[in-house]
Amino acid sequence: MEESRRFTVGYALAPKKKQSFIQPSLVNLACTRGIDLVPIDTDRPLSVQGPFDCVLHKFYGEEWKAQLRDYAFKNPSLPIIDPPDAIERLHNRISMLQVVSELEIPQEKETFGIPSQIVVYDSMALSDYGAVGALRFPVIAKPLVADGSAKSHKMSLVYHRAGLLKLKPPLVLQEFVNHGGVIFKVYVVGDYVKCVKRKSLPDVSLENLDSTEGSLSFSQVSNMTTQNRNNEEYYESLQLEAEMPPLSLLTDIARGLRQAMRLHLFNFDIIRDSKAGNHYYVIDINYFPGYAKMPSYETVLTDFFCNVVNKKSAEDGADSTVEGKGNEMKLLSRTYCGGTKDVESER
């Protein structure tokens, strides 16, 4: 009996991302579904590795981008998840949210947008009333560059103008919106959308701003209240009053972002305005986030890999001769990786 073909997904990930994402549970499930996850040595040419049916990466540097461009040119049908030039848009906190404002999605009962924000390139502008005068305090100060480094996660909640003078540009100043201390993290994997809620910064009493210390420093908003607590305690504490945003709204936003940004793997953070309970703000977008924190991430990602490699295999078959097409379809009928049943059950 002819052995079914296996598919190879090569991955190039920084050590920290590899440690969190490439879990034995993911590798084993993918293996049972005909997908072999194989590490890529970024110090060696891609051309001498593989062959790959898909390249998955979250790795930076000009040499790596040049390698990918060359490999993609020589292998035009190879899926690369995702194109480096598309990922780069998310490295700038102004351009990353601009795409949200450009989405053409009907807004009826629920509406969405982005908070008012400005970019500041030099320290002089922080003391210039005209430059920041249009913003209402408090504001969140975020580094302009969002490249996944520890530095890019260092933020501040600034309560009044004096607190700005301690900051170091370039940075983005984004109006803080009271949102009930809850942030919704929406994970996107191709067509799949999953929303989870996390604790966030507490609401700020606008009446007490002047008597509050200038600023509060923190890293990731959703991690502020979870330090030194195990997951069970944390999730038990999330019996929050806040209901989930409508899945239809999140799915529409996710689809619009995916198409506009040409990305398959990302998440976006969204909050609900405490004053206008039906208005939401997208406040951040991240490429290839910590999927291992997402429920059933192994099933979701394996389904995604299967869809990608089977689509490539089908397209390769369409380019062959009529006889080749028939043989390819027989092969696909034996090696299909399980369909979308598991994905649908998660939605």
Q: What is the pLDDT of residue 336?
A: 34
41 is in an annotated binding site: no
d(CA 163, CA 213): 8
70 is in an annotated binding site: no
Complete domains list, the chain, with CATH = 7-82+298-314 (3.40.50.11370), 89-287 (3.30.470.20)
Calculate the average pLDDT of the chain.
82
Q: Which helix (H) or strand (E) holds 324?
A: helix 322-335
In 3D space, the residue among 131, 126, 136, 178 whose CA is nearest the CA of residue 159 turns out to be: 136
d(CA 164, CA 156): 9
290 is in an annotated binding site: yes
Q: What is the pLDDT of residue 190?
A: 96
160 is in an annotated binding site: no
Q: What is the pLDDT of residue 54?
A: 96
**Residue 150 pLDDT > 80:** no
Name 323's Cβ contacts closer than 8 Å, sequence gap at least 6: none
d(CA 71, CA 298): 28
75 is in an annotated binding site: no
Q: What is the pLDDT of residue 347?
A: 33
183 is in an annotated binding site: yes
315 is in an annotated binding site: no
Confidence of residue 315 (pLDDT cuts 50, 70, 90): confident
59 is in an annotated binding site: no
**Residue 14 pLDDT > 80:** yes
Q: What is the pLDDT of residue 2?
A: 42
180 is in an annotated binding site: yes
284 is in an annotated binding site: yes
Q: What does the H/E/C string look like for 269-287?
A: EEEECCCCCCEEEEEEEEE
